[in-house]
Structure 1
Amino acid sequence: MDSNGIIPDVVDVVPDKIATIKYPSGAIVELGSELTPTQVKDVPNVTWEAEADGIYAVLMIDSDAPSRENPKLREVLHWSICNIPGNDLSKGQTLFEYIGAGPAKETGLHRYIFWVFKQKDVYPTDQFVSKTTIEGRANIKTRDYVTKFKLGNPVAGNYFVAQYDNYVDTLLESLKPQK
């Protein structure tokens, strides 16, 4: 993560552990591996070394929107789940539904970063943002989440890079405002 500028672009400390991320397509995230938007379009399985009685939060962000050279929307939130007991995502509370990688044409490689944080307590919230909207997803800062939810340093993380493929058009069409 240091070598690809994630530290200090997004957070200040490299997590001690690597989160394991596996997609239904068979793609597996390995630190800095290049995957296609088509490979990562569906919700992945994420695991990490969790304490049995621990409560966790998972974020997935694109730190390079609209491009790495001009990240004026840094960061775009692609997924957020909190109140996860252990590492059982199915029992956590989804705040922002999963949206796969969607880098625009000719914007180069984007870094898609997964963060796992240990929560101090269950966070009561009824927030929910559907996968069909980009509302509230742009200009999200991981550092602000850390402060707001009192999360501390990430306990695990991983990331991949992706650039435009034809699936991005399908994804963007699904995000258009409803008329």
Structure 2
Amino acid sequence: MSSNVDPLVVGRVIGEVVDLFVPTTEMDVNFGAKHVNNGCDIKPSMAADPPSIHIGGRPSHLFTLVMTDPDAPSPSEPSLRECLHWLVVNIPGDTDPTQGEEVMPYMRPKPPLGIHRYVLVLFQQKVRVPAASIELSPETVETRAHFNTRDFADRHDLGMPVAAVYFNSQKEPMNRRRH
């Protein structure tokens, strides 16, 4: 399974968002009929609704899903890195995020400038984490900016990721948006 990490290195997800890890859990991500592979292009209009995600593992396992944009507001000047797009805790294994507790609701990609990476990182929890106990900085709560996946994982004793995938997205011309 370690070959799955290589595109994360090339895409600078490993290094900028998470440290090198070995994937141990399957995570299948789809926007409609479009399967998300590392580095694929997803139009913002295709990602208006949360992706359907199937998480492997045993039903007795619990997972945390984090989705961020490490390129906000612009890939050349990511001064708001990381913008938090979605945070769900207590997702049972062999299910999907709708079975967990949403801490931060899904926010569709809205890349204002350039090609942005949107990263979905999965952590296996050691224990159930009450959603109400998750503390985010006031700025992250208000603007979703300056979230840090590594710091979040450290604060909540999540350890290394067990899966991750990223896709690219860029602003669509007005006349080409899907309805």
TM-score normalised per structure 1: 0.82
Is residue 151 from structure 1 mapped to residue 158 from structure 2 by the alignment? yes
- Residue 125 of structure 1 and its aligned partner are, at CA, apart by 2.9
Counterpart amino acid of 2:155? K
Q: Residues 136 and 150 of structure 1: is their aligned pair in 2 closer, same or farther, counting only changes over 3 Å? A: farther
Aligned to 1:62, which of 45, 62, 69?
69
Given that residues 56 and 84 in structure 1 are in contact (C-alpha distance below 8 angstroms), is that contact kept between their aligned partners in structure 2? yes
Pairwise CA RMSD: 2.3
Aligned to 1:22, which of 10, 15, 30?
30
Q: Report SS of the residue matched to 1:153.
A: coil
Given that residues 68 and 108 in structure 1 are in contact (C-alpha distance below 8 angstroms), is that contact kept between their aligned partners in structure 2? yes
Counterpart amino acid of 1:100? R
Is residue 116 from structure 1 mapped to residue 122 from structure 2 by the alignment? yes
- Residue 144 of structure 1 and its aligned partner are, at CA, apart by 1.1
- Residue 15 of structure 1 and its aligned partner are, at CA, apart by 4.3
Q: What CA distance in whole angstroms lies between the structure 1 residues aligned with 2:51 and 2:111?
A: 18
Given that residues 42 and 168 in structure 2 are in contact (C-alpha distance below 8 angstroms), is that contact kept between their aligned partners in structure 1? yes
Given that residues 44 and 108 in structure 2 are in contact (C-alpha distance below 8 angstroms), is that contact kept between their aligned partners in structure 1? yes
Counterpart amino acid of 1:51? R
Given that residues 18 and 158 in structure 1 are in contact (C-alpha distance below 8 angstroms), is that contact kept between their aligned partners in structure 2? no
Q: Which residue of 1 aligns with 2:107?
A: 99
Given that residues 31 and 46 in structure 2 are in contact (C-alpha distance below 8 angstroms), is that contact kept between their aligned partners in structure 1? yes
- Residue 49 of structure 1 and its aligned partner are, at CA, apart by 2.3
Q: What CA distance in whole angstroms lies between the structure 2 residues aligned with 1:134 and 1:36?
A: 26
Q: Which residue of 2 aligns with 1:176?
A: none
Given that residues 61 and 77 in structure 1 are in contact (C-alpha distance below 8 angstroms), is that contact kept between their aligned partners in structure 2? yes
1:1-56 residue CA offsets vs partner (Å, 9 max, x unmatched): 000111101111244155211123x2221111011100111011112321231010
Q: How does 1:162-173 map to 2 (within 5 A)?
A: 162-165=169-172
Where structure 1 has 5 or more consecutive residues not aligned to the other structure, the ranges are 168-179
Counterpart amino acid of 1:9? E
Given that residues 78 and 100 in structure 1 are in contact (C-alpha distance below 8 angstroms), is that contact kept between their aligned partners in structure 2? yes
Aligned to 1:139, which of 139, 143, 146?
146
Q: What CA distance in whole angstroms lies between the structure 1 residues aligned with 2:26 and 2:40?
A: 14
Is residue 8 from structure 1 mapped to residue 15 from structure 2 by the alignment? yes
Q: Residues 162 and 7 of structure 1: is their aligned pair in 2 closer, same or farther, counting only changes over 3 Å? A: same
Is residue 39 from structure 1 mapped to residue 46 from structure 2 by the alignment? yes
Given that residues 102 and 131 in structure 2 are in contact (C-alpha distance below 8 angstroms), is that contact kept between their aligned partners in structure 1? no
- Percent identity (aligned): 33
- Residue 88 of structure 1 and its aligned partner are, at CA, apart by 3.3
Given that residues 89 and 131 in structure 2 are in contact (C-alpha distance below 8 angstroms), is that contact kept between their aligned partners in structure 1? no
- Residue 108 of structure 1 and its aligned partner are, at CA, apart by 1.0
